[in-house]
Amino acid sequence: MIAVFPVLVACTSLLGPALPASSYDTIPLPDGRYASRQVMTSRTQPGPRKRPVPVRTIAIAIHDVRRDGVDILVGTRFCAVRQDPIGRVRTVLDSAFVGALPSWQSRATIQGIGPWQVHIAEYAAVIGADLEDPASDPLPGDADDRRITDPDNDGHPGITVRVEGLVSGEVYVVQRMIRGLEGELTLDGRMIGNLLGTNEQQTLGASNIVLRAFTPAFVPDPAPDRNTFDWAPVAGEQGCADIVAAEDQVFGRLE
């Protein structure tokens, strides 16, 4: 996810592997539940006379893997999204924001022999507008455009992002999110790799004059080491709340 103003070691005792570790010897990426922590870095100019600074968006997601004939299908839904603050201003991506994000299913391809190279195909979604081609149609920038939607059902056009700190209020935006994963899967079912995709955003309005006057753009950082993910098997009964609460134990502490 793109924020809008400066305002997206497994603990087996808590979550456990989706299958016994020996299962990965013969079935890479076996059916079951997994979780990932995704870090995407962008650069933004926090003020008209400020220098660009890096900003990280961290997302926690659940993935359900199943086989359909020869296809390996990976269902994805987000559990939580947060962004590092910039100075004295932070973006609040709350439960209404996360709940408005799409769930989707992509195909996975696997190559090699333990460790395996895994590619989970990119998926394009637009949040806050209904476009014929979500991957390439230009994002609308007019709140009166008939394609604008209100996915968080708050009565404002597009999706709402709250800003708190030196400047506080709401910004109403349309976002395009393209996401895929490419990494190395090991025998214990864990995976690390590169987060694929881009973010794009159009601002439709804001709740106060300061936010309306200046909402800086966020430009994705193309460096692979700045856009990464960690993936771990989790028990099938574990949901978003469990995984978010155990983030550091599942994925390790994020520096």
Residue 232 confidence (pLDDT) = 97
107 close to 70: Cβ distance less than 8 angstroms: no
Report which DSSP code applies to 4. Answer: -
Residue ranges of E strands in the chain: 32-44, 53-68, 71-83, 89-92, 104-111, 116-127, 159-165, 169-185, 191-196, 199-206, 218-220, 228-234
* pLDDT score for 6: 33
Helix (H, G, I), strand (E, B) or coil at 240: helix
pLDDT of residue 35: 98
Q: Residue 130: which of 110, 145, 114 has the closest Cα?
A: 145
Q: What is the pLDDT of residue 42?
A: 83
Task: Locate 59 and state its tokens.
Answer: 């997302």
Bond from prior residue into 30 cis (ω within 30 degrees of 0): no
| pLDDT at residue number 199 | 85
Query: Residue 29: what pLDDT?
Result: 93
Q: H helices within 27-109, ranges in order?
A: 95-99
190 touches 12 (CB < 8 A): no
Residue that has been written with the tokens 């790799």 in this structure: 193
The pTM for the full model equals 0.86
pLDDT value of position 14: 52
Block mean pLDDT (10 aa), the chain, length 255:
38 49 72 96 69 86 96 97 86 92 96 92 97 96 96 96 90 94 94 92 91 73 84 93 95 90
